[in-house]
């Protein structure tokens, strides 16, 4: 179990700057996610940590040891790829044992460690099977066992669940977190799937254009984003332009929907009276009622409804514009058409962002 430090790292591919003077600290035993759209630099950063990419500037440290120019095979990292990269002509056990054989361990030690690795991913008894005899989820577990069997200093995962169906992805999220925590591993995980990151990560970084836009715990990035990019990337939201009327213990903001009260931001942008801003309000934060609420209320009509069983997704049209509102355990579907209803939101759910 080691910590990782990315110190002022820059990487270019021709005229394209893939990483821009990045600074990042990943704690020992942490499951850390690199999240962002395609081309943001997250895979380049993972490959830099693995040693497949050497930066033009900056340093990579494993604990106190600098490994910036150290080749991949000397870093002792376990890497799991999107494609799994399993050999079809080898058995499950032979696939898992490959890294140990390259290290020339004794045969009894290899057998014992392969058995332990397969047991840790709940694949005990599958050692003699061929890869084509396994389901997608089982192949994913074999790839994970192969990464774990070498007892890596850290585990690197590059979108490992992208080839699985939705049900298997849900199952493997829990399994990956369990295995990493039981093994005491520091893990760095690349994905563009927000829910995957939110459900597994201890902390995460959202990247854009080779830059890190925000680092924090999943709940911090979802509920307290510092920019419109992070807010929009982490999930659906309503952006409402406004102007700050008061900035004392809370914020009073004038918008096209009427005045809103918001909690003061704890980090990032803290506006002053008279400044322009943008409010980010998640669709699930709204509450619908047939009587006027006391604060942060908008009067309008439900003009469109998508029923999804446990939730309903509404388009809520008001004089100031249209809002997305999600209702858990839906009750207001019959209030569509010309019936007037009220939507309200708590000040704690109104996030104030720079314009």
Query: What gap in Å lies between CA 247 and CA 269, rounded to an integer?
Result: 12
CB 108 within 8 A of CB 156: no
For residue 19, the tally of other CB atoms under 10 A from its CB is 25
CA 38 vs. chain centroid, Å, equals 13
* Residues 200 and 296 occupy one common structural domain: no
* Residues 57 and 163 occupy one common structural domain: yes
* Residues 78 and 169 occupy one common structural domain: yes
* Residues 220 and 273 occupy one common structural domain: no
* Residues 135 and 111 occupy one common structural domain: yes
CATH code (residue 244)? 2.40.50.100
Pairing verdict, β 311-318 and 297-307 = antiparallel
| Measured CA distances, 217 to 62, 171, 201, 220 (Å) | 22, 22, 8, 5
* Residues 11 and 149 occupy one common structural domain: yes
Query: What gap in Å lies between CA 154 and CA 78, rounded to an integer?
Result: 6
Dump pLDDT digits (tens) for 288-322: 999 989 889 999 999 999 999 899 999 999 999 99
* Residues 103 and 212 occupy one common structural domain: yes
* Residues 222 and 243 occupy one common structural domain: no
CATH code (residue 49)? 3.40.50.300
- 302 CB-near residues (< 8 Å, 6+ apart): 314, 315, 316, 317, 332, 333, 335, 336, 337, 339, 341
CB 93 within 8 A of CB 142: no
CA 74 vs. chain centroid, Å, equals 29
* Residues 19 and 146 occupy one common structural domain: yes
Q: In sequence order, what are the beta bridge partners of 187?
A: 31, 155
* pLDDT at position 9: 97
Per-residue pLDDT 10s for the chain (355 aa) are 799 999 999 999 999 999 999 999 999 999 999 999 989 999 999 999 999 999 999 999 999 999 999 999 889 898 887 777 788 898 999 999 988 888 888 999 999 999 988 988 888 889 999 998 988 888 888 988 888 888 888 999 988 877 777 777 887 888 888 888 988 889 999 998 898 899 999 999 999 999 999 999 999 999 999 999 999 999 999 999 999 998 777 789 999 999 999 987 777 777 888 899 999 999 999 999 999 898 899 999 999 999 998 999 999 999 999 999 999 988 887 776 778 999 999 999 999 999 8
CA atoms within 13 A on the CB side of 290: 7
* Residues 255 and 278 occupy one common structural domain: yes
Residue after which a domain boundary falls, among 175, 208, 228: 228
Dump pLDDT digits (tens) for 209-220: 999 999 999 999
Domain count, the chain: 2
* pLDDT at position 154: 92
Query: What gap in Å lies between CA 138 and CA 55, rounded to an integer?
Result: 36
Residue after which a domain boundary falls, among 166, 194, 228: 228
Q: In sequence order, what are the beta bridge partners of 13?
A: 16
Q: What is the mean pLDDT of the chain?
A: 90
DSSP state, 265? P
Dump pLDDT digits (tens) for 273-294: 889 999 999 999 999 999 989 8
* pLDDT at position 99: 84
- What residues make up the domain containing 54? 4-228
* Residues 47 and 171 occupy one common structural domain: yes
Residue after which a domain boundary falls, among 175, 207, 228: 228
CB 237 within 8 A of CB 224: no
pTM of structure = 0.87
User: Measured at the alpha carbon of residue 172, what is the angle toward residues 170 and 173, in degrees to the nearest 5?
Assistant: 65
* Residues 143 and 20 occupy one common structural domain: yes
């Amino acid at each position: 179990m080691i910590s990782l430090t990315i110190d002022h790292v820059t990487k270019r591919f021709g005229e394209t700057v893939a990483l821009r003077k990045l600074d990042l600290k990943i704690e020992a035993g942490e499951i850390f996610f690199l999240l962002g759209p395609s081309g943001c630099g997250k895979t380049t950063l993972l490959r830099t940590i693995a040693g497949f990419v050497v930066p033009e500037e900056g340093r990579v440290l494993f604990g106190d040891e600098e490994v910036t120019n150290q080749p991949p095979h000397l870093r002792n990292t376990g890497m799991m790829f999107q494609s799994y990269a399993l050999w079809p002509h080898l058995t499950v056990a032979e696939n898992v044992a490959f890294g140990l054989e390259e290290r020339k361990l004794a045969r009894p030690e290899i057998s014992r460690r392969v058995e332990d690795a397969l047991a840790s991913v709940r694949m005990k008894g599958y050692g003699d099977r061929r890869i084509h005899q396994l389901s997608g989820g089982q192949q994913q577990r074999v790839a994970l066992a192969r990464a774990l069997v070498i007892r890596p200093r850290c585990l690197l995962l590059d979108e490992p669940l992208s080839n699985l169906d939705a049900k298997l992805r849900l199952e493997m999220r829990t399994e990956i977190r369990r295995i990493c925590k039981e093994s005491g591993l520091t893990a760095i995980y690349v994905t563009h799937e927000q829910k995957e990151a939110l459900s597994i990560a201890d902390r995460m970084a959202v990247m854009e254009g080779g830059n890190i836009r925000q680092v924090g715990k999943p709940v911090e990035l979802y509920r307290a984003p510092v920019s419109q990019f992070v807010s929009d990337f982490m999930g659906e939201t309503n952006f409402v332009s406004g102007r700050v009327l008061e900035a004392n213990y809370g914020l009073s903001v004038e918008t096209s929907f009427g005045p809103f009260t918001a909690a003061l931001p704890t980090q990032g942008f803290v506006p002053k009276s008279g400044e322009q801003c943008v409010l980010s309000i998640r669709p699930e934060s709204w509450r619908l009622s047939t009587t006027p609420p006391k604060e942060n209320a908008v009067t309008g009509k439900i003009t469109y409804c998508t029923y999804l069983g446990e939730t309903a997704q509404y388009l809520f049209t008001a004089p100031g514009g249209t809002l997305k509102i999600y209702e858990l355990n839906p009750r207001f579907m019959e209030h569509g058409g010309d019936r007037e209803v009220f939507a309200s939101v708590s000040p704690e759910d109104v996030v104030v962002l720079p314009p």
